[in-house]
Amino acid sequence: MYDLRLFLSKKGRIKFVSHLDMFRMMQRTVRRADIPLWYTEGFNPHPYISFLLALSLGVESEGEPVDIRITGDMSPEEVKERLNKCLPEGLKVEAACVPFNKSGEITYGEYYCLFDKTEVSEAELYNALTSGELSCEKSGKQGKKKVIKTVNVSEHIKSFSLSDAGDDIKLYVVLPAGSTFNLNPIQLSSAISAFLGKEVIPVKVMRTALLTADMKKFS
């Protein structure tokens, strides 16, 4: 028995499948692929599958970490091949390896967003991102109650860069992720929209990597 970490790419229309439905889909796929997974104990045993960080609805990804536990001697490469034969269009296992980092080490998410040049200019985006005045509403907890808090987004942008992408402007940005605090590009876009006084919606958002505190790729 050993632990195995899968890295799933999620692209195209399947980006609109929720985190919960992704989990259910993965359970079905594992059964169809006949993967010898370890099952939890208790009254309702289920295969051990752990998505380490939920991906926001509508966001694509080049490698979402999913941990599973193998009970037989099936190799990581065979697990990868079997799953890819059963996964739906838009989902693919890009890599399968023995985990190196612990899930709690996830600290940042690296993203790129494409913005239509007819809706916003590079100068407007740069001014917003360097203003120090970006804020958005984010759900949180106060004791046991759920509350809506105003978050200063500017304080949480680790780094960013802007570049030309033909009809679009490409924004590379690193934002906090993990169990302590999360900020996603959709919330960042809302903050930019509020700052500019007009709706600015990215035509595409992709999470390219998860990073540890020392800015190394999570693996």
- What is the residue type of 162? L
- Kindly state the percentage of the chain with pLDDT values over 70: 98
Q: Is residue 26 located within the same domain as residue 82? A: yes
Helix (H) or strand (E) holding 49: strand 49-51
Which phi and psi (to 5°) does residue 100 adopt? -105, -55
Quickly list DSSP for 60-122: EEEEEEEEEEE-S---HHHHHHHHHHHSPTTEEEEEEE---S-GGG--EEEEEEEEETTT--H
What CA–CA distance (Å, rounded) separates 70 from 52?
17
Q: Is residue 91 located within the same domain as residue 117? A: no
Q: Choose one of 71, 99, 127: the last residue of a domain.
A: 99
Structure-block tokens of residue 23: 């989990």
Q: What is the pLDDT of residues 199-211, one digit of tens each?
A: 999 999 999 999 9
Please provide the average confidence, as pLDDT, over all residues in the chain.
93
In this prediction, residue 95 has a pLDDT band, given cuts at 50, 70 and 90, of very high
Does 219 fall in a domain? no
Count of domains for the chain: 2
pLDDT of residue 147: 78
Cα-Cα-Cα-Cα dihedral sign, residues 191, 206, 87, 54 = negative
What's the domain range around 79?
Answer: 2-99
Q: Is residue 142 located within the same domain as residue 200? A: yes
Does 216 fall in a domain? no
Q: What is the pLDDT of residues 157-200, one digit of tens each?
A: 999 999 999 999 999 999 999 888 899 999 999 999 999 999 99
- Beta strand 60-70 with 204-211: parallel, antiparallel or unpaired? parallel
Q: What is the pLDDT of residues 111-151, one digit of tens each?
A: 999 999 999 999 999 999 999 999 988 776 666 677 788 88
Top-confidence residue, 47 or 157: 157
Q: Is residue 126 located within the same domain as residue 79? A: no
Does 33 fall in a domain? yes
Q: Is residue 67 located within the same domain as residue 131? A: no
Residue 76 has pLDDT above 90, yes or no: yes
Q: Is residue 66 located within the same domain as residue 132? A: no
In this prediction, residue 35 has a pLDDT band, given cuts at 50, 70 and 90, of very high
Q: Is residue 79 located within the same domain as residue 112? A: no
Q: Choose one of 99, 117, 147: the last residue of a domain.
A: 99
Look up the CATH number of the domain holding residue 87: 3.30.70.580
Does 80 fall in a domain? yes
pLDDT of residue 142: 66
Q: Choose one of 99, 127, 162: the last residue of a domain.
A: 99
| Contact residues for 85 (Cβ-Cβ < 8 A; gap 6+) | 33
β partners of residue 50? 67
Look up the CATH number of the domain holding residue 165: 3.30.2350.10
β partners of residue 140? 147
Contact 211, 108 (CB under 8 A): yes
Q: Is residue 92 located within the same domain as residue 160? A: no
Quickly list DSSP for 136-190: EEEEEEETTEEEEEEEEGGGG--EEEEEEETTEEEEEEEEE-SSS----HHHHHH
Contact 186, 56 (CB under 8 A): yes
pLDDT of residue 45: 81
Does 218 fall in a domain? no
